[in-house]
Amino acid sequence: MRTFNAYIVFVFLFQGILFSQFIERESKKQMKINKFTLSSFSYACNVDSLKIVAFLEIPYSVLQFVKKENGYIAYYQAAIGTKNINGVQIENSVWRDSIIVDDYYDTKSWILNRKHFSSFRVLKLKDYEIIGELQDLDTRKKGIKKKTLSFNLKDNQIALLPPTFLLDLKGNWGFKEGKIPTHGLVVKEIGRGVELNVSGFVEQSFFEIEILLTNGTVNDSLIIKEKYKNDKGYFNEYFFIPSNDMNSLKNDFSIILTQNFKNKQKKISFSKFKSGISSYIKNIDLAIKQMKYIRDNDKFEHSNKKFRKDKENLFYSLWKDMDPTPETEHNELMDEYYKRVSYANENFDGWKDGWETDRGMIYILFGPPDKVERTNPSMSNSTLYQIWTYNRINKQFIFKDQNGFGDFRLDSPFNGIGIR
């Protein structure tokens, strides 16, 4: 096992720079332009209506950048539209803009992004569809995403809307000034803590809100309990969650609204970056499964821990044994491994997640190949081949797509170290 660990470190040191030079992106069911994010948040704004805040998040990597003098520029048009259940347009916002960067590597970033949002008021008794559109004005390629909102909110019944975490960011983002909504997926900086917006509809009387931390422990931890008198028929409250209350990588909360012996409950999670754990990791259980290509089987016999904190500690200790620089907090090997997992999921998906495919396995273990060849040796059948060549280790891997549906499998089994 130690020999293999040293080998993968060796591969990592030689692959960091080559990562951006993968010969050719794999064919994908979904065009790159469609890899933007469409998300929505909501809060009650009157007894019969609520405010929808819809966001488009555009990673730089989905656009085509053109070299201009001392930098690179991409031109795009983005839009957010809203329709009711009958297809009648309620709202439509359009932005035509450009992005300029100095560094070529920024043009390939999935982290750097441009955000646009639109907010609009809708009646609480109806269903709606949000449409996000993005067009690259150089390539003319266009991506479209749709999201259906169904609130099923009835008059004279208490209702709790999905709670929303808010992070600090200058500007107006549809909620409080200087606060931007987030779904809480691996947030790096939260300072003293985060705000949580809890909103819904109630009768005109007293009601109570409880917020519990439910991180898979024996007992849930009650962190907030507040009672209010309402004379409006709706509420929109903000709570501060201290960072000290969120000690796990993924923190699960349960929000309970109670009025007149009736209650409604919503669950929400917030994942924060933890020193020593790769920012590519959002789920410890999944991250442990994804270690199957390099894991120590003896240790993994004991990996079925019940509580999340125990799982995180086990995960951290397993990677600490393979840390090439144990004197530092940053584990370069872990980060490279899960970067490759992320790339495999983006590029080799099919009938299963990309990291579980044969191409995903080889990519995770050996990094990007030096050469990729695609061939169809016989025009009489639909079998396709990919040949990956690794010059530095003098290896070739041949993948075969028997039916032409993109399900490439190794032509010969690979029984490498660490594979079960």
| CATH number for position 66 | 2.60.40.10
Cα(73)–Cα(67) distance, integer angstroms? 7
Would residue 44 count as lying in a domain? yes
In a domain, 418, yes or no: no
State the sign of the Cα–Cα–Cα–Cα dihedral 52, 57, 63, 65: positive
Claim to verify: residue 126 and residue 210 sit in the same structural domain:
no
Residues 45 and 138 in one domain: yes
Q: What is the pLDDT of residue 275?
A: 67
The pLDDT of residue 379 is 57
CA 258 to chain CA centroid, Å, is 32
CATH code, domain carrying 193: 2.60.40.3880
CA dihedral 415, 416, 418, 420 (to 10 degrees): -20
Dist. CA 108–CA 62, nearest whole Å: 8
Structural domain that includes position 294: 2-28+283-410
Give Cα separations from 57 to 7, 40, 112, 174, 196 (angstroms). 38, 11, 10, 15, 21
Q: What is the mean pLDDT of residues 389-409?
A: 87
Verify that 401 and 324 share a domain, yes or no: yes
Percent of the chain with pLDDT over 70: 83
Does 210 reside within a domain? Answer: yes
Q: Do 24 and 39 belong together in one domain?
A: no
Both 185 and 130 in a single domain?
no
Same-domain check for residues 165 and 189:
yes
Would the pLDDT of 133 be above 90?
yes
Burial class (CB in 10 A: 0-12, 13-18, 19+), 263: middle
Same-domain check for residues 128 and 161: no
- Domain-ending residue, one of 132, 153, 174: 153
Q: Which of 153, 187, 221 is the last residue of a domain?
A: 153
* Residue 97 CB partners (closer than 8 Å, separation 6+): 75, 76, 77, 78, 114
Report if residue 278 sits inside a domain.
no
User: Would 177 be classed as within a structural domain?
Assistant: yes
| Mean pLDDT for the chain overall | 83
Q: What is the pLDDT of residue 299?
A: 57
Judge if 310 and 365 occupy the same domain: yes
Tracing tokens 């809203």 back to the chain, one arrives at 82
Going by DSSP bridges, is the β-strand pair 221-229/193-201 parallel, antiparallel, or unpaired? unpaired
Are residues 67 and 96 located together in one domain of the fold?
yes
Q: Minimum mean pLDDT among 78-82, 101-105, 254-258: which range?
A: 101-105
- Domains of the chain: total: 3
Q: What is the pLDDT of residue 306?
A: 57
* 69 — pLDDT class (breaks 50, 70, 90): confident
- Contact 46/124 with Cβ under 8 angstroms? no
Lowest mean pLDDT among 58-62, 226-230, 267-271, 365-369: 267-271
16-34 confidence digits (pLDDT tens): 423 333 333 333 434 789 9
Which one of 231, 254, 273 terminates a domain?
Answer: 273
Q: Are residues 312 and 217 in the same domain?
A: no
The residue-averaged pLDDT of 181-196 equals 80
Residues 79 and 137 in one domain: yes
Q: What is the pLDDT of residue 55?
A: 96
Please indicate, yes or no, if residue 352 is contained in any of the structural domains.
yes
Rounded to an integer, what distance in angstroms lies between the CA atom of residue 230 and that of residue 235?
8
pLDDT in tens, 145-170: 999 988 777 777 899 999 999 998 89
Least confident of 54-63, 129-138, 236-245: 236-245
Instruction: Determine the Cα–Cα distance for residues 312 and 288; give it in Å rounded to an integer.
Output: 9
389 and 309 in one domain?
yes
Question: Residue 327, class by beta-carbon neighbours within 10 Å (0-12 exposed, 13-18 middle, 19+ buried)?
Answer: exposed
> Hey, what amino acid is at 140?
R
Judge whether residue 38 has pLDDT over 80: yes
- Classify residue 416: in a domain, yes or no: no
Nearest to 18 by CA among 366, 416, 358, 374: 366
| Whole-prediction pTM | 0.69
Exposed / middle / buried, residue 91 (Cβ in 10 Å: 0-12, 13-18, 19+):
middle
